Structure 1
């Protein structure tokens, strides 16, 4: 029994020793893991840490099975050729926060298993072609926070397995068209705080597998058409902190199948509807911190899959009804820190799908337009920041979550729109004149005033027939075809009211002479008001519609007085100038003779012709100048 027990114990001891060697454990009798001076090595993690040791060169003597090597925060200036030979098992190499200014060709030769290379925070200005040769397994390359000026052709050609490249915060001014050739598997690219003034379209077209692209703090002023051609697999695009970027060309994003688009902290003054309308797979859109004042109605309906819209700190004044019409999957809207007074339920396709709403930081008017939000205050997610009332005074500062059901009928009320002056307005003007119609209304909230043409088409604030800022309708240089009934509509959330006016434009008779037409056209700028037809002063209307007899005098008395006065002044001025000129001319000739003697030959009497030998004596007369 004893002998059998000893044999069994010896067998278990041998087995445990074999397992320890196989798993990397060190027997008590073995020597410790080798490590260079001033470095700490951890055999269980296969890690060598030489960070912050004031090293000026790469040490030697690392264990051959080292997986993690940290040389960050030292004083390394140059990486020599084949400086890491013998570390074939290395997976991560950290060289960040040194003073590296030169990487020699084949500096990383002999590291076939390296997956992560960190070179950020150095002083690299240029990367020679071949610097990254021998790294077929590299997945992450960090070149950020250097002084790189240019990416040359084929700089990364041997990094076919690279998945992520970070090259932000460099002095980059140019990217060669074939700089990214060979990076067929690159999925993420980040260019941050560079001096690029345009998108390197040709270089990016080499990245057929790119999935995420981030441009931040660049000097872009516009995004031209086809800026990202060839990037059919791109799903996330971020253009942020580009203060000069004010426009996205209509086809700038053509060919992309994005699911996420960020254009934040730029200078867009409107939602880029034309540029994004074809992005039918888009789910996330962030336009925060752009000076966008209005979200227009019915212009986002093509984005059928849109789920989130962020417009934080954009100076937003209004979200028009129907702005999110057609967005059946819309579930998150963040319009915090803007200048919105309300957000109407009519802006949405269906508020039932809305899950998160950020309205905090807006001067909200708590009236009937926001009643739908209050009624859903327990179901909606306000992301921990529920909105609060700004007006009326009795509710100022109160959060929506703190309002009771009993208070709602007294607070969230509206007064329907009402047109104030409904006196009939009929204007009769001659062709070429101007007609003006007024339309004023009140209500709570203040109603919006719009006008419709006789064909019930809405009128805009621009053009010959336009709506003025005060709600009046102006018809300039009226034409016969402008005649008809125009409709003023005053509307707010509580209701609307309409009012019609009539315009009759009289055209010129075909029998009128051209002179009559000219004299009449000179007086087309006369103002006509809504109280009725106001013929030009001094033009009494004829007693009947007959065109016989003398027509009305084309000028009024005031016009005649002005014309005669101006003509007299012009004539007298010309005479005075002539006399002054003659006076100074005569003075320049010196003393003038006051008499003059003139010789002449008198003509023969009877008009007979002179005969040979006939002679006539000359005559003379004296002329006295006075």
Structure 2
């Protein structure tokens, strides 16, 4: 028995080597723990100042984390041909020499997390043909140079977060044709490294947390056909997402959370027809508008927790036939109407807790399905009316629903006729006050059958009053006020008649008592205001030119007639005539302008 214990104690390595389970005797460095049965060497937390020697050639895992190693020299691990996992995390490494890992042809995982690296020389990863995971996070790396990772062609996951990155060169990721997951968290990047990312044709997941980028430009993630998951978290400056920023992507999962978006980026999302999971939580978004998410045909989950939601409009999820989960916890919603959904029968999970819910007829559909709906362990609670305040949905019996979850139809309070006859340019106000439970919304329909907006010359004020500023003749007509809530609606009409005002004292006629300006008058005024740019027209110019030319020809003809008679009186003589015509310059000083030119005739 003592003999066996002696063998175990002093001859472990020789026995394990004989059975192919371990390494040769004396191959475990001091201050390290070796586990030959799994071929591990654990040197973690041993206060080592440098990489020790004497490792077994058969070691598959080497843990050198939590030491004080400062430098990794060239071919530091060249003898460990079987090594698959190397951990250098939590050291003081500030320099790794070129070819430091040469010879580790079977290494699959390399962790250099939480060190003091500032730059990675090209060639530092030479020989790592089998590497699958590289963790460089929590260092002080400033830049990724061209071709830094070209020799780790089989790398699948790159953890590069929590560095001081200010720039990623366009060819930094050259050669990473098999990279599937990239993490770029908490860096000093000021823009998306679009050109560098285009090298990653096999990329399926990008995680970018805690950055200071303020906008996603068009084509920010172009030429990434296999990208399925994009996670953007905690970008407090991000408030702009261009309409084509995500174009060309086939995402199934998109997270843009804890940013500064004030509205759902509908234009950017409309291209993502394969999207199933969308998380826009913790953005100051106030409304989910109706009929704008219909292009996301496959969407199954929407998370908008911790935002500033005030309402979800009817038809918000119209066309989403696969929609099964809505998470709007911790917002400012008072209700969620059934009309917001394409089909409430498909809805499986609903998170409404943390909202000031008004338990009335609008939430009756939720109450009737509360046994089938999954509230994910968080029961919604009523905030109003007083009779049901602080009661959870599960506390209500079926008999109480009809009596407590009721609404009072909208009713316009003052229905006295309102009619205004004013002159053009006058500002007119029409009042429309309504009552109901829930409080109704006020909508005005113009005389042209259009909905009046809260902005513009004709607008609806916050209190429901219709304001027509600087009334024009064309504003004349009947306007309709609609008061609407979940229980019903009410309406009333008002009349506006605007009298035209004369615009020109030279107008040939004006019907003083008329309320509409004649169309002919408007045309006359418009024509009168159009001044001609020149004192004469083209016809006058042609006539003047023609008369001047005829005058010139007449003078020449008279001269020839005079020559003819003069020559006849002299008999048969040879004569020569020279005629010069010098027109008056239009630029220079032409005298008093009385003569059109100078005519000279010489007879020889």
TM-score by length of 2: 0.80
Residue aligned with 1:165, SS:
strand
Counterpart CA distance in 1 for 2:442 and 2:75 is 77
Partner of 1:330: 323
The 5-angstrom pairing of residues 539-578 of structure 1 reads none
Partner of 1:171: 164
Gaps of 5+ in 2: 1-15, 518-604
The 5-angstrom pairing of residues 264-303 of structure 1 reads 264-303=257-296
Post-superposition Cα deviations, 1:471-490, rounded to whole Å, max 9, x if no partner, equal 11111222222222111110
1:459 paired residue among 452, 458, 463: 452
Partner of 2:228: 235
1:61 paired residue among 51, 54, 79: 54
Counterpart CA distance in 2 for 1:183 and 1:542 is 84
Counterpart CA distance in 1 for 2:97 and 2:487 is 75
Residue aligned with 2:398, SS:
coil
Count of residue pairs the alignment pairs up? 502
Post-superposition Cα deviations, 1:555-593, rounded to whole Å, max 9, x if no partner, equal xxxxxxxxxxxxxxxxxxxxxxxxxxxxxxxxxxxxxxx
- Identify if the C-alpha distance between structure 1 residues 543 and 231 changes in structure 2 by more than 3 Å, giving closer, same or farther: closer
Counterpart CA distance in 1 for 2:98 and 2:408 is 78
Counterpart CA distance in 2 for 1:341 and 1:229 is 41
- Identify if the C-alpha distance between structure 1 residues 506 and 512 changes in structure 2 by more than 3 Å, giving closer, same or farther: farther
Contact 1:289/1:312 (8 A) holds in 2: yes
- Identify if the C-alpha distance between structure 1 residues 455 and 544 changes in structure 2 by more than 3 Å, giving closer, same or farther: closer
- Identify if the C-alpha distance between structure 1 residues 46 and 443 changes in structure 2 by more than 3 Å, giving closer, same or farther: same
Partner of 1:423: 416
Residue aligned with 1:357, SS:
strand
Alpha-carbon shift at residue 500 of structure 1 (Å): 1.2
Contact 1:33/1:43 (8 A) holds in 2: no
- Identify if the C-alpha distance between structure 1 residues 132 and 25 changes in structure 2 by more than 3 Å, giving closer, same or farther: closer
Alpha-carbon shift at residue 515 of structure 1 (Å): 13
Counterpart check, 1:24 vs 2:25: no
Alpha-carbon shift at residue 138 of structure 1 (Å): 0.4
- Identify if the C-alpha distance between structure 1 residues 31 and 431 changes in structure 2 by more than 3 Å, giving closer, same or farther: closer
- Identify if the C-alpha distance between structure 1 residues 430 and 163 changes in structure 2 by more than 3 Å, giving closer, same or farther: same
Residue aligned with 2:116, SS:
coil
Counterpart CA distance in 1 for 2:371 and 2:113 is 48
2:464 paired residue among 471, 478, 481: 471
Residue aligned with 2:212, SS:
coil
Counterpart CA distance in 2 for 1:101 and 1:107 is 13
Alpha-carbon shift at residue 229 of structure 1 (Å): 1.2
Partner of 2:75: 82
Alpha-carbon shift at residue 508 of structure 1 (Å): 3.4
Alpha-carbon shift at residue 85 of structure 1 (Å): 1.0
1:127 paired residue among 109, 120, 131: 120
Counterpart CA distance in 2 for 1:50 and 1:511 is 99
1:201 paired residue among 174, 179, 194: 194
Counterpart CA distance in 2 for 1:103 and 1:277 is 46
The 5-angstrom pairing of residues 103-118 of structure 1 reads 103-118=96-111
The 5-angstrom pairing of residues 367-378 of structure 1 reads 367-378=360-371
- Identify if the C-alpha distance between structure 1 residues 512 and 246 changes in structure 2 by more than 3 Å, giving closer, same or farther: same
Contact 2:253/2:278 (8 A) holds in 1: yes
Counterpart CA distance in 1 for 2:62 and 2:508 is 98
Counterpart CA distance in 2 for 1:21 and 1:459 is 88
1:351 paired residue among 344, 352, 374: 344
1:305 paired residue among 298, 305, 329: 298
Partner of 1:481: 474
Contact 2:128/2:151 (8 A) holds in 1: yes
Counterpart CA distance in 1 for 2:508 and 2:148 is 81
Partner of 1:151: 144
Counterpart CA distance in 2 for 1:511 and 1:103 is 88
2:335 paired residue among 333, 339, 342: 342
1:448 paired residue among 428, 436, 441: 441
Gaps of 5+ in 1: 1-19, 518-540, 548-626
- Identify if the C-alpha distance between structure 1 residues 262 and 516 changes in structure 2 by more than 3 Å, giving closer, same or farther: farther
Contact 2:17/2:24 (8 A) holds in 1: no
Counterpart check, 1:506 vs 2:502: no
Alpha-carbon shift at residue 140 of structure 1 (Å): 0.3
Counterpart CA distance in 2 for 1:216 and 1:298 is 31
The 5-angstrom pairing of residues 576-615 of structure 1 reads none
Contact 2:70/2:93 (8 A) holds in 1: yes
Partner of 2:179: 186
Post-superposition Cα deviations, 1:96-153, rounded to whole Å, max 9, x if no partner, equal 0000000000000000110000000100000000000100110000000001111111
2:407 paired residue among 378, 396, 414: 414
Alpha-carbon shift at residue 42 of structure 1 (Å): 1.1
Contact 2:236/2:260 (8 A) holds in 1: yes
Residue aligned with 1:407, SS:
helix
Counterpart CA distance in 2 for 1:95 and 1:543 is 95
Residue aligned with 1:487, SS:
strand
- Identify if the C-alpha distance between structure 1 residues 510 and 63 changes in structure 2 by more than 3 Å, giving closer, same or farther: closer
Contact 2:285/2:308 (8 A) holds in 1: yes
Alpha-carbon shift at residue 332 of structure 1 (Å): 0.5
TM-score by length of 1: 0.77
Counterpart CA distance in 2 for 1:328 and 1:513 is 67
Alpha-carbon shift at residue 34 of structure 1 (Å): 3.0
Alpha-carbon shift at residue 516 of structure 1 (Å): 12
Partner of 1:92: 85
Contact 2:409/2:489 (8 A) holds in 1: yes
Alpha-carbon shift at residue 430 of structure 1 (Å): 2.1
Counterpart check, 1:401 vs 2:394: yes
Aligned-residue CA RMSD in angstroms?
A: 2.2
2:153 paired residue among 160, 163, 170: 160
